[in-house]
Structure 1
């Protein structure tokens, strides 16, 4: 074999060997922690922490206006029996594609505060959606009030004379609104349940055997550290029906992680105080507008009444004018009679005749003055009547504009309640 035909066999250099050993070393130390994640990826499980589970529960609350009931079995569906408040996370009910488990492939323990009450406004079952919150709203204003101008009376035909009639009281002024929000439930009802829960003394979802919580999620860690036969250590044991405090440090006897969400903390995270305050403010604005509408209605009624008074004065003046005319005719006729008697007397004008003529002249002058005064009053009262009707129209126009504003404020308050905590 010639030297040119020899095959050259070449091995690893020291540098390449060092790099290979380094990579193998990294893989040796990196693979064991990744084995649980690989297993979960192959099985379709989701590896989460207790905080991740808490965020998933918050998302469920925002979407469904309540917390899910725990899964007391293993099918991933919530079980909402009356006493079911502790179990596993109901991943199917929460809309997830796989069970929620920790990095070691173990299930979370989950508890939700449930404290129902026969009176919905006092109910504190966080896993049930109910119509607890209803802002106190004024009644709906059904329609405007009709104000009709009466026709002019005919004083010579008494049967045709009719007094103006005040319009009927609107039905909207009778009682508060009770039908606008009937059967309506949203996030504000969950907010009220949280408030009720802060005032309740009972409940089994407790942390450290004494403090109630809205919900609790427990990560069992990796092992049964306290060696009591289950993976949940200490007070997290299913035998206790309670949960340990979140601030217990890890030790050789405890490796659980606890996430506890308080009522006020959850309400703050959801924006409950601002949302409820916004709806109540809208309800107060609706009531303020409604009170202004009631004043406008009363004022319009007062203007109607004043118009009735003015028309009555005109009718009385019409009678006075007629009576003054008749009185003038009578006194003028009496004066003429007295003058005729005096002119035809052959024995001279007596004292009684003079007195009669004097009284007749005085009565006639007085009747003329009364007729003139009645005529002047008629003109003045006519102007006052027309001015009074203009006041009625102005009052009615204001009443209608405030009625529309009141209805708008009520609609705004109802829409604000419909938005729930999305204000």
Structure 2
């Protein structure tokens, strides 16, 4: 009797394994070619973008400022740099090494005005050193198939994909696991609408489907998305300063003119964003500089 039960159980197990194998095969056959690699790329880009925004929101120099790129392929942001494009500093961001679906490490570019290398005390409202708050525009030009879209981004993350004709990439670096080579061996520049858009200098974000001459995948950080998280941190800072009348004592609060973007609703504080949306937080005390919100 027991042998018969064991035999029946074995047949059920074999049947289940067979069904699982058939389901796996069916999924593989129904997925378009390259779907898993594309998904891996999008996942890596999304993780990198959210990590950069989180880093910026807790930057104590000026909330919203972004780190230097990794310029020597060790995964660490340079402490001081004159470059605004390089490899993603994944160690600094508290991530593991992020790779796209082709196994390549990600690249990163920031708007120069969002550099955390600009001391708060030197942000004077000039074009090169603006006050860093929700009114600060990005400097990276977004482009589609017909040229510039009109959007200016704070930062971008680039997945380089497989090497294209003419690109030569070196072996993996022992510290980071990322392949060696200059940026031109990984990302492409492309002409659209009679204008050259460069990924190699970090000033453009080209959103195109991959092809024979261009296969970069780009994910951008808009000012609205960026400052939604940064503003939440700023309101949180207001909340912990009740004893100081709700006024943050950090230098960045006054220097970057945050109160010009804050208003009181009667139950809390609201910071307006460039697209007309706002970030709200219930607060017992607000700085005296915060006027009532319109309609409150």
Q: Please report the TM-score for the alignment, with normalisation by the length of structure 2.
A: 0.49
> When the two structures are superposed, what TM-score results if normalisation uses the length of structure 1?
0.37
| Higher fraction of strand | 2
* Bigger-Rg structure (1/2): 1
